[in-house]
Structure 1
Amino acid sequence: MRMLRPKVLLIEDDERLGAITKELLDDDYRVTWVTDGGSGRRELTTGAYDAAIIDRRLPDMDGLELVRMLRARGVSLPVLMLTALSSVEDIVTGLDDGANDYVTKPFQFKELDARLRVLLRGSAANQRAYAIGDWTFLAESEEMERFDGTRVRLTAAESALLRVLCASPDHVFSRQELLAAAFHPDDVLGTIDTYVSYIRQKTAKDVIVTVRGRGYRIGTPEE
């Protein structure tokens, strides 16, 4: 089962710095790069990201406006600010307004990468993500995310079933195995079919594959 790289939004108006930063981050992250605050606001509103790197001085707004917007909406997305404003007062203001960390320009990429990794480790957004067909299973938040960013909430039982299937992607599970691993042993075998149907209705039929006469296995990105 392929684990997805964390999804990071980079908001940086300096074309050269933005291109270099995206290129270097692309090895370990799925990076979307935009160059102004308006585009950044749209991405933060409609996209599902694990972290954001935001330049403080954007052409159309102060980057902190975006952070304030997130926090006002109760969004806990980790935010790393990039800034040439290196005074203690500027950094304290940014942290007080909701930024999680600051990197001052010019910076070493190793420092930026290290700080981003720390933010992701300490965030609930840094969760196990499994690619299944056109969907991604976000195990900790019990959600399915489609390739276009659409998210679907799962029940605890649906999530438990997917966790078992994702843990052994090459294994075909019998109904008895799935019942023992994800449900109460007193439940009937038909419980498995019911919850497979629920998950397919919320997502797609190929998220869980039926192996005739044997049981079920998780789908793959290639199917």
Structure 2
Amino acid sequence: MDEGARILVAEDDARLAAMLRELLQGEGYEVVIARDGQRALHEGLTQQFDVILLDRGLPVIEGLDVLMRLRAHGVRSPALVLSALGNPSDRVEGLDRGAEDYLSKPFDIDELLARLRALRRRLTSTLHVLQIPGGMLDTASRSVTRSGIDGVVPLTEREGDLLEKLARRPGQVFSRGDLLSSVFADADDAGVVDTYVHYLRKKLGRECVLTVRGIGYRLGRLP
């Protein structure tokens, strides 16, 4: 069972979408359905998902285009493409454009569930280590290992939470209000965000967090 895991199912076939919802909810997933590519893109950019299950033949925006746009915005949730296009060249294209796995329709239910479990295990095994400019953030220990530099830089709980928020969506710009509500929920002054950005820059260098003038902050550019 995958209790608590959230999955985005992007599928335009109403009967198949309903079947997948029932199947996955029975396995303990929290399921969000998107019936076209525009909705899938919106849901993927505005919510956090543990896995994305994606049909290629979506209306409005084709499935692989949705996935590429999500990846361009820093969404790293593992994706399984479920498609009637099952030739080797189709599978290669899907994997090359950002999918972690590819399953052809018609599919075996047990195989689908097994592949989703494998993606969840892969995500869990790497979930606590995130790339940041010039190093890696360990979210479990709230510490940073700098590339080419001996030693580990410890972070405070708030510093670690702020850097993790930015690192999980490296392509996204967060307003000060967004960061205040999600990282500093017990504070009422957005100035605390600026203070902790200053602390992170002092420990890790100014390149670790970029200011987007008039909007807010984002993770610094990755290699």
Aligned to 1:91: 91
- TM-score calculated relative to the size of structure 2: 0.56
Aligned to 1:157: 157
Provide closer, same or farther for how the CA distance between residues 9 and 202 of structure 1 changes in structure 2, counting only shifts above 3 A: farther
Q: Displacement of 1:72 after TM fit? A: 1.7
Report SS of the residue matched to 1:38: helix
Q: Displacement of 1:75 after TM fit? A: 2.3
Separation (CA, whole Å) in 2 of partners of 1:76 and 1:64: 14
Deviation per residue, 1:68-91 (Å, 9 max, x gap):
112222322100001001111111
> CA contact under 8 A between 1:80 and 1:100: conserved in structure 2?
yes
Provide closer, same or farther for how the CA distance between residues 101 and 201 of structure 1 changes in structure 2, counting only shifts above 3 A: same
Matched letter for residue 117 of structure 2: R
Aligned to 1:8: 7
- TM-score calculated relative to the size of structure 1: 0.56
Do residues 112 (structure 1) and 112 (structure 2) align? yes
Report SS of the residue matched to 1:26: helix
Separation (CA, whole Å) in 1 of partners of 2:4 and 2:126: 10
Aligned to 2:52: 52
> CA contact under 8 A between 1:77 and 1:125: conserved in structure 2?
no
Separation (CA, whole Å) in 2 of partners of 1:70 and 1:141: 28
Separation (CA, whole Å) in 2 of partners of 1:105 and 1:72: 27
Provide closer, same or farther for how the CA distance between residues 159 and 35 of structure 1 changes in structure 2, counting only shifts above 3 A: same
> CA contact under 8 A between 1:41 and 1:66: conserved in structure 2?
yes
> CA contact under 8 A between 1:120 and 1:126: conserved in structure 2?
no
Deviation per residue, 1:153-202 (Å, 9 max, x gap):
xx743699xxxxxxxxxxxxxxxxxxxxxxxxxxxxxxxxxxxxx97605
Separation (CA, whole Å) in 1 of partners of 2:86 and 2:48: 30
Provide closer, same or farther for how the CA distance between residues 107 and 4 of structure 1 changes in structure 2, counting only shifts above 3 A: closer
Aligned to 2:200: none
Report SS of the residue matched to 2:186: helix
Larger relative contact order (Cα-Cα within 8 Å, sequence gap ≥ 6):
1
> CA contact under 8 A between 1:6 and 1:126: conserved in structure 2?
no
Find the partner of 1:201 among 160, 176, 186.
186
Provide closer, same or farther for how the CA distance between residues 20 and 158 of structure 1 changes in structure 2, counting only shifts above 3 A: same
Provide closer, same or farther for how the CA distance between residues 72 and 124 of structure 1 changes in structure 2, counting only shifts above 3 A: farther
Matched letter for residue 15 of structure 2: R
RMSD over equivalenced CA pairs, Å: 3.0
Provide closer, same or farther for how the CA distance between residues 76 and 201 of structure 1 changes in structure 2, counting only shifts above 3 A: same
Separation (CA, whole Å) in 2 of partners of 1:159 and 1:125: 23
Provide closer, same or farther for how the CA distance between residues 158 and 105 of structure 1 changes in structure 2, counting only shifts above 3 A: same
Structure (1 or 2) with the larger CA radius of gyration:
1
> CA contact under 8 A between 2:78 and 2:100: conserved in structure 1?
yes
Do residues 19 (structure 1) and 12 (structure 2) align? no
Do residues 74 (structure 1) and 74 (structure 2) align? yes
Aligned to 1:147: none
Separation (CA, whole Å) in 2 of partners of 1:9 and 1:78: 11
Give the aligned length.
142
Provide closer, same or farther for how the CA distance between residues 121 and 127 of structure 1 changes in structure 2, counting only shifts above 3 A: same
> CA contact under 8 A between 2:41 and 2:70: conserved in structure 1?
no
Separation (CA, whole Å) in 2 of partners of 1:89 and 1:63: 16
Deviation per residue, 1:32-77 (Å, 9 max, x gap):
1111111101101111111110101012222000111122223221
Report SS of the residue matched to 1:82: strand
> CA contact under 8 A between 1:54 and 1:82: conserved in structure 2?
yes
